[in-house]
Chain A
Amino acid sequence: MNKWGKNWYTTIAAVMVASIALAACGTPSGSPADTPAVPAKSVNLTGAGATFPAPLYTKWFDQYNKLTGVKVNYQPIGSGGGISQITEGTVDFGASDGIMTEAQMTKAEQKNGPILHVPMTSGAVAVIYNLAGIGTGQLKLTGEVLADIYLKKIARWNDQAIASLNPDLKLPDAAIAVVFRSDGSGTTYIFTNYLSKVSPGWSTQVGNATSVKWPGDIGGQGNAGVAGQVQQIPNSIGYVELAYAEQNKLAWAKLKNTAGNFIEPTLEATTRAAEGVSLPDDMKVMLTNSSNPEAYPIVGFTWILVYVNQNDKDKGEALAKMLWWAVHEGQQYTEPLTYASLAGSAVSKAENAILSIKYQGQPLIVR
């Protein structure tokens, strides 16, 4: 008994010393993180948010899983849902088509510290119409005229304001049926952001949000609902995501940008939009009404939202590496899926944001 007891104490003491020594070795250096290969250990990440980039994210996370073994589970529950989930900390990352409001930022920061907006891709909103004999890209509109149509100030297609922009089109003497998105959506956020920038009347009377108080006429559920109404109702106008308009071959309008050019909503013109806007370091910027002469004016980023301070080293590291991959190699998947890729300073600003992600004060990846 005595002999065993003595040994027992020695063993305990030895283990304690050893573990302290090990712990001391483990904590101080953050250097092992900069090895490029992802550890073979299986890490699962969860994210939730915007529906608009969901097809791209699904493709990304599938490819990324094949490359690295990291499983990413993404739930497209809507931008608002993504923001509240990341605020509650129930997911590893959120996703949103809109910028978090001051109130939302404060709420999240009080709970889990500073939060980042990392841009992933950008999307455009196409203005679609149903006018007999007028094909895609033939109708020209300016932001002011578009805002007045949605404010119901311009009520007929042969209004002087529209006719003077389209002298060679035969516009019908008919009422304009205005179609909007009835469900809250990032598409509406980008669209109303643009209208607020170009029309003082819009910004005072209606404003900018994922759903607003529409002056008229018909609400459609989702992109499909809006497109369905526009295709069915003669002399109507609506707005949908560029990807949806392109896949369904809808007739879209050319819009006048700040340089005075009438631009069709193409992926190229969408990517250009980020080059005419000065991008702040926190990337919380809307790309609408870009000054680039080749840019389409109704464009917005879609972001992934992550906390600067990660609680779990393995997860945090996997998350940072996944984001790094998404803004670099991942960009090759954007155009086949009709998303616009990130370019120029948008990429370097995104890199800076990803590099700032930390675990216990140490960066998780190094350039």
Chain B
Amino acid sequence: MNKCRPDTSLSAGRSDTVTASRARIGDRIFSRLTLFFGILIAVILIALLIVLNIDAWPAIQKFGLSFLTSIEWDPVREEFGALPAIYGTLLSSLIGLVIAVPISLGSAVFLSELAPEWMRKPCSFLIEMLAAIPSVIIGLWGLYVMVPFIRNPIEIWLGSNLGFLPLFEGPPFGVGFLSAGIILSIMVIPIITAVSREVIAAVPLTQREAMLALGATRWEMINRAVLPYCRSGLVGGVILGLGRALGETMAVTMVIGNAYVLSPSLFSPGATIASKVASEFNEASGDLYIGSLIELALVLFAITLLVNIIARLLVWRTVSVRGTGE
């Protein structure tokens, strides 16, 4: 607002024709309008936070910080804690990323550096199509096709050969953290691939040519000149994927097994914040129960907000670096 002022007064001093003044009014209306919309978005975000806080207040007041560390979730006795849900959210997203990142980066490098020209467009199109499949469909496919396969042979094999590790102990139900992580990896691969491909494509050609001119192989060129150049952009893409994984609800609810436990085993059924809220909100009654579910939502809000801010900062940095590089 204040920035605009001197500008308009300057043009007012200069212009006295009808068209100029009309344009000035138009400009003014336009700037006010965009300002209004800009503020509106911020207001919606703040209003959302306020409303969530009001509704969560009974739980915030009752449990305080112990809400974040308690493992209880007992609607009958009205004792609630978020730790198993936070743990489940972070663990399933971590498994998702561990699987998705190598696959996504590999396919992004292939598509932008190595693939023959005729393959690039159709392949990237297909990968991006994966992002358009509704999560409920992926969840159903997960429950009826993927989970039986994970139970037998994957979990049975892992359990009988590596069952001495706490990571693979417990009965092979099929549903659990492992299945949730795999489903999440399928859902974030298209996001990470698309962002990485864009970021790699933005690396200046001179960078590659210089490396090749020094006698580097193609692998050395990619490894030493291309990837380090766009490293922070790649990290930004991964974090955007993480943002999606943290908030994913339907598909995860279907395959995670929905048990509220804190278990190191990947075979164990678990719960995420989003799956817990989606499962129980409809039938929840009583201020404390509803308040606790909403406080869970607030925790998720905080986690995703943090992740998104980090992603923005990283992507921003790549873009500005690229700007000065060219």
Q: Which residues of chain A have a CB within 8 Å of any CB of chain B?
A: 77-81, 83-84, 101, 103-104, 175, 177, 182-185, 206-214, 216-221, 225, 228-229, 232-233
B:222-271 near A, CB below 8 Å: 253-254, 257-260, 269, 271
Docked-complex contact B173 and A212, CB < 8 angstroms: no
A216-B258 CB under 8 A given contacts A183-B280, A208-B76, A221-B253: no
Q: Which residues of B contact A (CB under 8 A)?
A: 72-77, 143-144, 147-148, 151, 171, 173-175, 253-254, 257-260, 269, 271, 275, 279-280, 282-286
Of the candidates A101, A177, A212, the one whose C-beta lies within 8 Å of that of B171 is: A177
List 24 interface pairs A-B (beta carbons < 8 Å), by A numbering. Answer: A78-B283, A81-B282, A103-B286, A104-B285, A177-B171, A183-B280, A184-B282, A184-B284, A210-B283, A211-B284, A212-B76, A213-B76, A217-B171, A217-B269, A218-B257, A218-B258, A218-B259, A219-B257, A219-B271, A225-B143, A228-B143, A232-B147, A232-B174, A233-B173
Nearest B residue (CB) for A185: B283
Tell me if B173 and A80 are in contact (CB < 8 A): no
In contact, A219 and B279 (Cβ under 8 angstroms)? yes
How many angstroms between the C-alpha atoms of A240 and B269 in the bound complex?
Answer: 20
Is B76 within 8 A of A209, CB to CB?
yes
Residues in B whose Cβ lies below 8 Å from that of A211: 75, 279-280, 283-284
The residue from B74, B148, B174, B286 contacting A212, defined by CB atoms under 8 A apart: B74
- The answer on a CB contact under 8 Å between B73 and A213 is yes
Known: A79-B283, A206-B76. 7 other contacts (CB 8 A): A78-B282, A84-B285, A211-B75, A217-B259, A218-B269, A219-B279, A221-B279
Known: A217-B173, A219-B259, A221-B253. A233 touches B151 (CB 8 A): yes
Chain B nearest CB: distance from A120 CB in Å? 19
Nearest chain A residue, comparing its CB with the CB of B147: A232
> Could you say which residues of chain A place their CB within 8 Å of the CB of B143?
225, 228
Structural contact, B74 and A219, CB atoms closer than 8 A? no
* A207→B283 contact, CB < 8 A: no
When the two chains form their complex, are residues B260 and A213 in contact, meaning their CB atoms are under 8 A apart? yes
B residues within 8 A CB of A183? 279-280, 282-283
- What's the least CB distance linking B284 to chain A, in Å? 6
**Smallest CB separation, B15 vs chain A (Å):** 57
Report yes or no: B280 in contact with A101, Cβ–Cβ below 8 A.
no
Q: Top 6 A-B pairs ranked by shortest CB distance?
A: A184-B283, A219-B258, A182-B258, A207-B76, A80-B283, A78-B282
CB–CB A232/B279 < 8 A = no
- Bound together, the chains give a CA A159 to CA B69 distance in angstroms of 37
A87 — nearest CB in chain B belongs to which residue?
B285
A48 CA to B287 CA, complexed, in Å: 20
> B286: which A residues are within 8 A, CB to CB?
101, 103
Chain A residues with Cβ under 8 A from B283's Cβ?
78-81, 183-185, 210-211
Q: Shortest CB–CB separation between residue A102 and chain B, in angstroms? A: 11
